[in-house]
């Protein structure tokens, strides 16, 4: 017990005309089972109340506290200081707009994403909730949930080389969202409909396969598998549109359009 931790924290308050982007050093004695949640709050309450950072559930469930921790995007609340070197360097997530210090605006980015991907069930059925619900295989429900687990922390976007270079790239979070609705039998969108949304370089064909998203996702979503699956599916959809005769081929029989649920890790 009792390492002296050195924090190098990015500081910039856009609302303060005198503020300039800089790194600021803080020291703190490490305590048993200390997380960055504990450490940062102690810094704010004991040393510098002007520090800006976000926490919400502080249990790794809500995704509010994503930041770059010694170079890697991750959730601060579930980062133990004992797993880090004595010098801990903290930056805000790139790509997202900076609110101040370590806090970034993920809310607006994701809300725009909902609209781009039309992140809701598309159906023409009128459902009366007083009647018995439509049946669904439990396995399908679990597959949907596996992809629904995204907490929109933004780590995958910050870890994506493409997203950093290109503002219009949708990123793994959005593509995963599409995959979630593709497996959902309640959504009546066709492959062609989904192709409209993600069949471009801003969508699945912009992905360069760097796998930063896969390796930083704090919820261990099967992003690599989903991205690969979507590329095949959308690639084949494009070919089918060009050569309609191929449309009769059942993807699943060829095993190339097979859904790979997560949990491999």
Partner 1 sequence: MQTYYSDLLVVGAGLAGERMAIEAAVNGFDVICLSIVPARRSHSSAAQGGMQAALGNSVMGEGDSPDVHFADTVKGSDWGADQECARLFVENAPIEMRQLCAWGVPWNRVQAGKDYYFKGGERFEKEEKKEKEGLITARNFGGTAKWRTCYTSDGTGHAVMCTLDNRAAQLGIRIMDRKEAIALIHDGSVCTGAVVRCLRTGQLEVFRAKATAMATGGFGRIYKATTNAVICDGGGHIIAMDTGVVPLGNPEAIQFHPTGIVPTDILVTEGCRGDGGTLLDVNEERFMQIYEPEKAELASRDVVSRRMTEHMRAGKGVPSPYGEHLWLDIRHLGDKHISTKLREVDDICKHFLAIDPRVQLIPVRPTQHYTMAGLRTNKDGACYGMKGLFAAGEVACWDMHGFNRLGGNSLAETCVAGGIVGKKIVEFLQGYEVSFGTKEAHDAVAKQQDRINALIKRRNGGENVYEVRGILQQAMMDHCFVFRNHEGLSKCIDILQEALGRARKVGLTSDGKGVNHELAAALKLEGQIKLGLCIAKAALERTESRGSHNREDYPERNDRDWLNRTLAVWPEGADMPSLSYEDATKVFELPPGDRGYGGGKIIPADPAKISGKSAVEAGNENGEDAKSGGAKSGSKKKS
Partner 2 sequence: MAVNATMHVARPGRRDACLDWLQMLSGASLVLFMWCHMILVSSVIISPKVMDAIAWFFEATYMAQLGGPVIGIVFLFHFILAARKIPFTSYEQKTIWEHAKMMMHRDTWLWVVQAVTAMIVLIMGGIHMWVVLNDLPITAMKSAARMQQTGWTIFYLILLPMVELHVSIGFYRILVKWGVISNKTRPLAKRGEYLLLATFLFIGFLTIIRFLTLAIH
List contacts with partner 2 (CB under 8 A): 68, 71-72, 91, 94, 114-116, 118, 159, 161-162, 164-165, 195-197, 199-201, 203, 205-212, 214-215, 222, 224-225, 227-229, 231-232, 234-235, 237-239, 241-242, 260, 264-265
For the CB of residue 166, give the shortest distance to partner 1 in the complex, in Å: 23
Q: Report the C-alpha gap between 62 and 154 in whole angstroms.
A: 11
Instruction: Output the furthest CA–CA distance in the chain (Å, rounded).
Output: 70
Binding of partner 1 by 110 (CB under 8 A) = yes
Closer to partner 1 by CB, 57 or 210: give it: 57
Q: Are 75 and 66 in contact (CB under 8 A)?
A: yes
Q: Report the C-alpha gap between 71 and 94 in whole angstroms.
A: 11
For the CB of residue 191, give the shortest distance to partner 1 in the complex, in Å: 19
Neighbours of 78 (CB within 10 A): 15
For the CB of residue 40, give the shortest distance to partner 1 in the complex, in Å: 11
Q: Are 6 and 53 in contact (CB under 8 A)?
A: no
Q: The tokens of 10 are what?
A: 């990015």
For the CB of residue 260, give the shortest distance to partner 2 in the complex, in Å: 6
Closer to partner 2 by CB, 16 or 193: give it: 193
Q: Which of 26, 35, 90, 189 binds partner 1 (CB under 8 A)?
A: 35
For the CB of residue 120, give the shortest distance to partner 1 in the complex, in Å: 4
Give the C-alpha distances (Å, rounded to integers) separating 59 from 78, 79, 152, 182, 251.
7, 11, 15, 30, 41
Closer to partner 1 by CB, 35 or 162: give it: 35
């Amino acid at each position: 017990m009792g390492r002296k931790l050195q924090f190098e924290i990015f500081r910039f308050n856009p609302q303060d005309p005198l503020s300039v982007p800089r790194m600021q050093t803080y020291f703190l004695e490490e305590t048993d089972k200390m997380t960055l949640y504990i450490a940062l709050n102690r810094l704010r309450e004991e040393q510098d109340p002007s520090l800006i950072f976000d926490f919400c559930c502080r249990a790794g469930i809500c995704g509010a506290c994503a930041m770059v921790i010694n170079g890697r995007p991750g959730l601060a609340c579930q980062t133990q200081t004992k797993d880090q070197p004595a010098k801990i360097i903290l930056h805000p997530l790139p790509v997202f707009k900076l609110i101040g210090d370590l806090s970034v605006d993920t809310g607006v980015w994701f809300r725009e994403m909902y609209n781009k991907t039309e992140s809701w069930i598309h159906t023409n059925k009128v459902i009366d909730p007083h009647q018995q619900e439509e049946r669904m295989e439990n396995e399908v429900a679990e597959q949907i949930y596996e992809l629904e687990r995204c907490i929109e922390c933004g780590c995958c976007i910050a870890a994506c080389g493409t997203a950093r270079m290109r503002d219009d790239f949708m990123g793994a979070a959005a593509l995963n969202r599409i995959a979630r609705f593709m497996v959902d039998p309640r959504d009546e969108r066709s492959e062609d409909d989904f192709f409209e949304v993600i069949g471009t370089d801003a969508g699945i064909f912009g992905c360069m396969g760097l796998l930063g998203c896969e390796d930083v996702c704090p919820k261990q979503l099967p992003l690599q598998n989903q991205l690969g699956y979507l590329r095949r599916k959308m690639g084949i959809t494009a070919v089918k549109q060009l050569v309609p005769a191929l449309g009769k081929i059942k993807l699943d029989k060829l095993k190339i359009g097979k859904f790979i649920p997560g949990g491999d890790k």
